[in-house]
Structure 1
Amino acid sequence: MSNNEFDLVIRARRALVDGELQAVAVGVREGVVAEIAGLEELSAIDEITLPDEQVLLPGMIDTHVHINDPGRSDWEGFETATRAALKGGYTTLVDMPLNSLPSTVSVEALETKKEAAQANCFVDMGFWGGAIPGNKADLEPLHRAGVFGFKCFLADSGVPEFPPLDADQLNEYLDEIARLGSLMIIHAEDPTTLESAPVVPGRAYSDFLASRPDASEVEAIRVVIDAVRRSGARAHILHLSSAEALPLIREAKQEGLPLTVETCPHYLSFDADTIREGSTAHKCCPPIRSLDNQDRLWDALRDGTIDCIVSDHSPSTAELKQMEIGDFATAWGGVSSIQVAFTAVWTAARARGFELTDVVRWMCERPAEIVRMQGKGAIALGHSADLIAYAPDERWTVDVNELEHRNKISAYDGLELSGRTHTTWLRGVAATTDSADGQFLRLGEG
């Protein structure tokens, strides 16, 4: 073929294509993968050959990030969050409807968020809508505006402008979700169970853990499953922490209910017994639980009960995290992880005998499938040429001061990890933190 056939050809002795690592040349034309062929079969004016230690992968997709912009951009912001994502091997994010001000609960609020994001995104960006009491009529306009679905809480969200739905409201809203053919993503903790749990101020992680018992997740997920069975709506359980809920989830999936489930890197990387006293960087809701619980989450990833892994990147200021005081009862709950999430999961997964192909399935392919994101999630013909050159064996130690996100707080600080992203291509163009070339995505578009 002539040199003009492709804009770019990337050669890799190991590239993840059709679920396997293969030696291929990937030809890119006008931002999409136009050809996949043998290692020496394609040519272009711009040709890149990856070193043997690097693997060509699709860019990771994170469907659960809190960028908090506008309104709480001192917590994060589109520029800093997407810089961190780019460095961490991500090419696509979907931003949660909170904790920005306003929350994304109307088309007007969505447009306000897009104005804040315009020309400030280093990766592609999609948006979730919010489902709160009183905004049922806003769901259809938001759906038509291209949000990937709707988030609701069943317990207190932590911010007053985003109140939870009760069980009756959940059923009512799921009827609308089913009518629209949309997706409801649910923070599943039961408020009654939480209200009866002991809250003990202080620096002891065990006290905080006792305040968010397994039963709160189990009961809330039971409510969700019943509502899905009744309505037929698609629903997705966010940040599953408790393995005690897995039997319920397995039964629901065996029944054929349209239910999917995610967990997060912090639940797979840390356990309750090793969290230091006062280390509020590890506080999140639902909480990090025992090592035995973690083992069962990994087993559920292995057998497909848990569908995917997302960061739940949820930063805040050091003051809100109470880093100096270390009071788990009053510190903001959220783990900042977008720059290290993919590599943290790979580090933990390989120690348990998983392959890199497994991690890409959990952190790229399945997220794209669940939210019905077209043209992303794999190195495939016609897909967006969102690619990363990744060195899976390269070891490095996390230094929180070198991370790109705004507030230099991370539960991963000082942790040695395996794997580093060396080059990222966004629609076939090498992406850097010098140019914010991310685009907005809508449901049904890549």
Structure 2
Amino acid sequence: MEQMDLIVRNGVVVLPTGVEQVDIGIKDGKIKVITSELAASARQEWNAAGQVVMPGMIDVHVHFSEPGREHWEGFSTGSSMMAAGGCTTFFDMPLNGIPSTVNCEALLDKARLGNKKSVVDFGLWGGLVPGNEDDLAPLAKSGVIGFKAFLSTTGNKEFEAVDEMTLLSGMKQIAKLGKVLALHAESAAITNWLKAEKEQAGCVSADDYLATRPILAEVEAVERALYYAEITGCALHFVHISSEAAVGKIEDAKSRGMNVTVETCAHYLLFNHDALRERGSIAKCAPPLREASEQKKLIELVAAGKFDMLTSDHSPCPYDMKDPKDFNLFQAWGGISGGQFTLLAALELSQTNHIPLEQIARMTASAPAERFDLADRKGKIAVGMDADLAIIDLDTPFTVTEDNYYAKHKQSLYMGHTFPSSIVGTIVRGKVVVQDGRVLENEGIGKNGQWQKPEGTQLVDLMG
């Protein structure tokens, strides 16, 4: 047999067909062979005895803010963080960079930065905002994963929420383009009205913040978007859903044959509203962390397979934006920093709630790849696929500290949390980028990431 570039030996491997102890032979960035006791030699070997080998995570929801706000988080620090968490591909959201990714010029500028700086592979979302409907087709042809829009106020002047007419016309075009629209689904009318009432009364506590973003606001927005999708034929992906009632609406839509998927985030599963009460703005996000009773329901829904995928919604900022001088919880930045910990959180849930590893692999890898047209190369451990692997020690706990968190800003809701498992290795297209839990990109291996476009997309010639 020909020499391999890398062989991962003796691991317990999570395959599409089940969990088996096999060796994985890797050549030219692809999985060449999967078999027991592989006889071939290799330039490099990884002894995975006592370790679990999973498909590298695909996190479809992160916010890196480059260009324009790299001091919040950029491709270099952000991708190192993702690699440390066993993530081999992430999808960057379009809103926090300057400019936002709402036209082809911005898309290609961001792609060039990612190719230059990212440690792992990445996809790029395009935006749907008022006034950019003519940009949707060129963005789709140029390789966006899909489009993102907000039904609630964004707090970002570069990326405004859609009005109803923009939403409907955009959905009609996105349907024709064969793309998916990702939605932040909270009712702007409800949340803005409740917020104004609270602030006018001087009520700005954690409980007041939760009251301004009730489950009803999420359910109303989800239901309205589903009605619009029925009219336009648009495929939808609901991001960071935080309530059982909203999942129920989405389940009903799926039962009617609608093309819709749903994610939740690790922080909704590991934490609840008590964290906001106790730790303040570091635990602020939108939708908010729910009460413990709702958190329990979300975990049960994950165990029952009602969520298609798990994501981080990594949304960092400089800490002075979390803790402004004239402190008002409503004015503090709303976002959780924690992209490194989604796969670890999923594994914690697997152990505490008896969720099979195959189900975790589906939510964190194969389902994202299938939904966003990367399944020809990503999302599972199989011959011919990209050699994207996360190597895990299920029995060695990992406690989050400033020293082992690779994000630019170390303040995180996860700080001090102990996961029951550790990520010991990450391999991206056959290249080891994390070894013994340490990101190697600062030790001379260079950047490794490549822009991943859906199958069949071509770049638009912007010079023409």
Report matched runs for 1:84-95 at 5 Å: 84-95=81-92
1:300 aligns with 2:301: yes
Q: Distance in 1 between matches of 2:229 and 2:239?
A: 15
TM-score by length of 1: 0.95
- Displacement of 1:247: 2.0
- Displacement of 1:311: 0.4
SS at match of 1:98: coil
- Displacement of 1:278: 4.8
Q: Distance in 1 between matches of 2:402 and 2:324?
A: 14
- Displacement of 1:136: 0.6
Question: CA contact under 8 A between 1:67 and 1:76: conserved in structure 2?
Answer: yes
Q: Distance in 1 between matches of 2:367 and 2:69?
A: 30
AA aligned to 1:41 is L
AA aligned to 1:262 is E
- Which runs of 5 or more residues in structure 2 are unaligned? 434-439, 458-464
Partner of residue 10, structure 1? 8
Q: Distance in 1 between matches of 2:447 and 2:252?
A: 45
Partner of residue 214, structure 1? 215
Per-residue CA deviation, residues 396-444 of structure 1 (Å, 9 max, x unaligned), is 2111343111111100111111211112211112122232111111111
AA aligned to 1:229 is E
- Displacement of 1:54: 1.0
Q: Percent identity?
A: 35
1:386 aligns with 2:388: yes
Report matched runs for 1:24-423 at 5 Å: 24-38=22-36, 40-46=37-43, 48-197=45-194, 198-200=197-199, 204-322=205-323, 327-373=328-374, 374-423=376-425
Q: Distance in 1 between matches of 2:325 and 2:14?
A: 44
Q: Distance in 2 between matches of 1:338 and 1:85?
A: 6
- Displacement of 1:6: 2.4
SS at match of 1:256: coil
Per-residue CA deviation, residues 8-66 of structure 1 (Å, 9 max, x unaligned), is 2211341111242101111111110111112x133123353534321111111111000
Per-residue CA deviation, residues 271-308 of structure 1 (Å, 9 max, x unaligned), is 11344445211110011101221122122223333211
Q: Distance in 2 between matches of 1:326 and 1:396?
A: 33
SS at match of 2:83: helix
Change (3 A) 1:394 1:177: same
Question: CA contact under 8 A between 1:279 and 1:323: conserved in structure 2?
Answer: no
SS at match of 2:159: coil
* Aligned-residue RMSD, C-alpha: 1.8
Q: Distance in 1 between matches of 2:117 and 2:74?
A: 9
Question: CA contact under 8 A between 1:199 and 1:329: conserved in structure 2?
Answer: no
Question: CA contact under 8 A between 1:269 and 1:345: conserved in structure 2?
Answer: no
- Displacement of 1:83: 0.7
SS at match of 1:400: coil
AA aligned to 2:449 is G
Partner of residue 433, structure 1? 441
Per-residue CA deviation, residues 77-105 of structure 1 (Å, 9 max, x unaligned), is 11000011111111111110010000000
SS at match of 1:405: coil
Q: Distance in 1 between matches of 2:49 and 2:210?
A: 45
AA aligned to 1:14 is V
AA aligned to 1:199 is K
Q: Distance in 2 between matches of 1:386 and 1:445?
A: 21
Change (3 A) 1:342 1:203: farther
Question: CA contact under 8 A between 2:275 and 2:283: conserved in structure 1?
Answer: no
Q: Distance in 2 between matches of 1:445 and 1:16?
A: 29
- Which runs of 5 or more residues in structure 1 are unaligned? none
Question: CA contact under 8 A between 2:127 and 2:149: conserved in structure 1?
Answer: yes
Q: Distance in 2 between matches of 1:213 and 1:401?
A: 36
AA aligned to 2:31 is V
Change (3 A) 1:19 1:209: farther
Q: Distance in 1 between matches of 2:324 and 2:405?
A: 18
Per-residue CA deviation, residues 248-288 of structure 1 (Å, 9 max, x unaligned), is 11111110100100000000000113444452111100111
TM-score by length of 2: 0.91
Question: CA contact under 8 A between 1:12 and 1:56: conserved in structure 2?
Answer: no
Q: Distance in 2 between matches of 1:293 and 1:325?
A: 32
- Displacement of 1:114: 2.3
Question: CA contact under 8 A between 1:149 and 1:182: conserved in structure 2?
Answer: yes
- Displacement of 1:116: 2.9
Q: Distance in 2 between matches of 1:105 and 1:115?
A: 16
Question: CA contact under 8 A between 2:397 and 2:419: conserved in structure 1?
Answer: yes
> Alignment length, in residue pairs?
443
Question: CA contact under 8 A between 2:168 and 2:232: conserved in structure 1?
Answer: yes
Question: CA contact under 8 A between 2:15 and 2:358: conserved in structure 1?
Answer: no
- Displacement of 1:117: 2.5
AA aligned to 1:299 is E
SS at match of 1:132: coil
Question: CA contact under 8 A between 2:14 and 2:357: conserved in structure 1?
Answer: no
Question: CA contact under 8 A between 1:268 and 1:345: conserved in structure 2?
Answer: no
Question: CA contact under 8 A between 1:280 and 1:327: conserved in structure 2?
Answer: no
Q: Distance in 1 between matches of 2:61 and 2:101?
A: 14
AA aligned to 1:413 is M
More displaced, 350-359 or 105-114? Answer: 350-359
Q: Distance in 1 between matches of 2:17 and 2:219?
A: 34
Question: CA contact under 8 A between 1:236 and 1:261: conserved in structure 2?
Answer: yes
